[in-house]
Each structure stands twice: as structure tokens, then as C-alpha cells.
Amino acid sequence: MIRLDQIILREIRLPLREPFRISSGVVHERRIGLLELYDASGAVSWSECVAGEWPNYSSETIDTAWLAIEAYVTPRVLGVRFDAPGDVHAALEADFRGHQMAKAAVEMGVWGVAATQAGVPLARLIGGVRERIAVGISLGIQASPKALADRASAAIAEGYHKVKIKIEPGRDVEFVRAVREALPSAELMADANNAYTLDNAATLAELDALNLMMIEQPLAHDDLVRHAELQRRLRTAICLDESITSLARAQDMVTLGAGRIINIKPGRVGGFAPSLAIHDYCEQQGIPVWCGGMLESGIGRAYNVALASLPNFTLPGDVSPSRRYWEQDIVTPEWAMAPDGTMGVPLDRPGIGVEVDMARVDALTVRRAVMRVPA
């Protein structure tokens, strides 16, 4: 049983070691929402809001999520009794539309609290079966095909199991081909973040020759129908990211044939309950899933690692080690990748599996709000 009596919300600023460029924008420094959730039983957990600074990935931002968490999500959960963490998502969905990342930040925190309260690792609470997960890397758009191929080769040499290449019109076939020539047998994929239309189908079909695992979200962020048309014209599997915002959208993808793989990001779908539902549905349908990333701090990463330990997460995720993103993460131990390109799922302690460096979080905090059950 869960009954939260306090949520502390804050924003920290964490500079990336290098800018991350995708077709729809570039980020130098992450503005990250962090939550501390306090249960009446005494159990506490941290969680993270993955919304970015600018509404280029989804319509949510750190600023809209801040408002939504304060004004819509928190009043719906504080002081309310939930029999199980899986009940929170439905309650929020029944209450108001959209704001999936704001909802997810609180919903996932409740799963963290429930794991702490039950004295079990988060991965175990949700039914995870893996002790280690395979790690992939997502490379932002680089200056030249040569620069990209060098970065990809270094990543494979480090042990990464998959290299994801960000593409956009003008920086696509030539760039991906350079990587394929440098790495003839590596697991490669491309992610377009909605940069194409059906008019570019011929360019995307040229990628068929490069033996990619999949092409992620080539068309509009909320489209399924055109992706189905494109999938009919491609041999390479389409993987959907932005378009899958709920279990219903995942079902629609299958019904329409709009893609053959799903990138699950719990923040995008509203939390762990819908992530688990999409995972189970895809498993029944023979659709592989993998865990995407939103350049999370070590707190959000803990949730992604737990999720990626579920059985149908059969492809390497964008769950890279702390050092790929930050000079110094905000958790101990930092997330590390072994030379074999895997990351350990923390199974030796209750909850999310990492300690938060409180002094560092305090030093990075730019705003803070405390919300309590009304007296």
C-alpha cells in the first residue's frame, strides 16, 4: 500500500561532456527534473523527469512538466491510498490528458518507493529476469562521415553492442555507409527523429543496402499511417519511438503494420505501468522491444536499467554508462559498462540500486518546490 505525504521537486543543470545533436535540435546542458517521494510508511525514493528544455522531441518541456507535476499530478496522488504502484497510471489517465513525462516522473517514483518499502530491488519488483543488460550507444549527428565512422569504431572497440546513428536529410546514406564500411559486421541502426516524409522514401530505401537492424522514427512524431506505407516499401524494419505514446498506439502500430520494433521510453508513455503493458503485448505479438534513453542522469538511468532487465527487452538499449554523458554523475556507484559491453542490474539492495550524492545535487539545484498533504 502506498500513500505519499510529501514530494520534493527540483531542477538541476548538468552539462553534457559533448553536445548531443539530433535532427530536431541540439543540447549542451541538460535541465533535469528530480523528485524525492516520501511515503507515509517512511519509504523514500528518487525519480527523474525526462522532459527536455525545448519541445522538439515531444510537446513537453521541463517547464511544462514542472507546472503539470505541481498543479495536476501531485494533487491527484498526495495523501491518496493506492493498493499497488500499478494503479497510479490509470488514476492519472482518468484525471487529465497528456503530460506523459510529468505523470511518469511521479508514477515511476511510486514504483521506486514500493521497491524500497518491500525491501526488493526495483528490477525484481517489476519481474526483471536479467542480471546484466547489453549496452548500446546513440551517436549524435557528426561533422562528417569520417568523424562519425571514427566515433562508431571507437564505440565498438569499447565494447558497445550496438551503434545508433542519428540521421537527417543530407546527412544520411553517405554517413551510414561510411560506418558500415568501417564496421562490416557491427550491429548498426539509424534514428531520424521525424526528419523525413514519404517523399524521401527513395533515400530511406537506399539504407536497405547497409544491413541495418532498424530505422527509428523516420516520419512525423505522431504518425502511424504513413509509417505503414513506408514499411511496405522498405526491407529494413521500422522501429517507432515518438509515435508510441501508449499501449493503444503500440496496438495500432501492429494492426497497421507501421513498424516491427518498439523503443520503449517509460517517460514517453507515462511510466512503468504502460511500459510493462507494452512490453507484455509486444512479447505476445513477437515484436522485440529495447529501452531508449533521454540523456538521463544516474537516477533516471536506474529505472531504464530495471526496465531493460525484463524478458522481451531482447535488443541492446540506449542505456550507456555515466561517463558517456557526464564528467561526474549524481549517483554512486556511477553506471559503468564492463569490457564485454554489459551493465549490471543492481540486485544487491532494495529500491533503485544507487545512492544519490546529496551535496552534489544541492550544488546543482536551481529551483525547488516542496509539496505536502494539505493539513
Residue nearest to ligand OSB (CB): 293
- Report the first-to-last Cα separation within the chain, whole angstroms: 21
On the 0-12 / 13-18 / 19+ scale of CB atoms within 10 A, 282 is buried
Compute CA distances 363 → 12, 52, 359, whole Å: 9, 20, 6
Q: Which is nearer to ligand OSB, 74 or 320 (CB)?
A: 320
293 binds ligand OSB (CB under 6 A): yes
Give which of Mg ion, ligand OSB, none residue 176 binds (C-beta under 5 to 8 Å, depending on kind).
Answer: none
How many residues sit close enough to Mg ion to count as binding (CB under 5 A)? Answer: 3
**Site for Mg ion, residues 184 to 223, rule: CB under 5 A:** 191, 216
Residue 57 Cβ vs ligand OSB, minimum distance, rounded to whole Å = 5
| Parallel/antiparallel/unpaired status of strands 289-291 and 331-332 | unpaired
**Site for ligand OSB, residues 51 to 70, rule: CB under 6 A:** 57
Whether omega before 85 lies within 30 degrees of 0, making that bond cis, reads no
In this structure, which amino acid lies at residue 105?
A
346 binds ligand OSB (CB under 6 A): no
138 binds ligand OSB (CB under 6 A): yes
164 has catalytic annotation: no
Q: Which of 39, 172, 223, 241 binds ligand OSB (CB under 6 A)?
A: 241
Residue 157 Cβ vs ligand OSB, minimum distance, rounded to whole Å = 18
Q: Which is nearer to ligand OSB, 54 or 82 (CB)?
A: 54
Residue 77 Cβ vs Mg ion, minimum distance, rounded to whole Å = 29
Q: Which grid cell is 341?
A: 559491453
Binding mask 18-47 for ligand OSB (x = CB under 6 A): ----x-------------------------
Which residues are registered as beta bridge partners of 33? 11, 49
Give which of ligand OSB, Mg ion, none residue 39 binds (C-beta under 5 to 8 Å, depending on kind).
Answer: none
Residue nearest to Mg ion (CB): 241
39 binds Mg ion (CB under 5 A): no
Nearest to 122 by CA among 247, 9, 276, 267: 276
Residue 101 Cβ vs ligand OSB, minimum distance, rounded to whole Å = 11
* 8 Å CB contact between 28 and 59: no
**Could you give the CA distance from residue 193 to residue 69 in angstroms, rounded to a whole number?**
26
**Could you give the CA distance from residue 136 to residue 131 in angstroms, rounded to a whole number?**
17
* 8 Å CB contact between 134 and 341: yes
Residue 344 Cβ vs Mg ion, minimum distance, rounded to whole Å = 25
162 has catalytic annotation: no
Backbone dihedral angles phi then psi of residue 286, each to the nearest 5 degrees: 75, 25
Residues classed as catalytic: 166, 265
Binding region for ligand OSB (CB under 6 A)? 22, 57, 138, 191, 193, 241, 292-295, 318, 320
